[in-house]
Amino acid sequence: AQSVSQHNHHVILSEAASLELGCNYSYGGTVNLFWYVQYPGQHLQLLLKYFSGDPLVKGIKGFEAEFIKSKFSFNLRKPSVQWSDTAEYFCAVNSNQAGTALIFGKGTTLSVSS
């Protein structure tokens, strides 16, 4: 069965620090990869996605992620976090088939202090 592991449950950073959130998945086939973010009191929204092509993908708000197929990883990065990045971050995977539901990791809570 597909599964998604997020390595950090809670990350605490100061403003301007760099961020890297780990995500590993277990599936041998072709996958689509996503990072979603849930800001306090807001909808779950898409940060970035990878379907194919360049393994380094850029998303909204300065986030990027790198797909490393050999490591089954899709880590999220941001060079300099802001207080407004405080949120919960979810990595998700589905297979490259029509209509397959997303499998989510358990989430990482990011707290940024100003």
Partner 1 sequence: DGGITQSPKYLFRKEGQNVTLSCEQNLNHDAMYWYRQDPGQGLRLIYYSQIVNDFQKGDIAEGYSVSREKKESFPLTVTSAQKNPTAFYLCASSIVGLGEQFFGPGTRLTVL
Contact residues: partner 1, CB under 8 A: 4, 6, 9, 32, 34, 36, 43-46, 49, 51, 90, 92, 94, 96-107
- Shortest approach of partner 1 to residue 15 CB, angstroms? 26
Q: How far is the CB of 36 from partner 1 (least distance, A)?
A: 8
Count of CB atoms situated within 10 Å of the CB of 66: 16
- Whichever of 40 and 114 has its CB closer to partner 1, that residue is 40
Between residues 17 and 27, which has the closer beta carbon with respect to partner 1?
27
CA proximity to 68, closest of 50, 47, 95, 94: 50
Distance of CA 108 to the CA centre of its chain: 9
Q: Which of 113, 85, 108, 110 is nearest to 6 (CA)?
A: 108
CB of residue 71 vs partner 1: minimum separation in angstroms?
Answer: 21
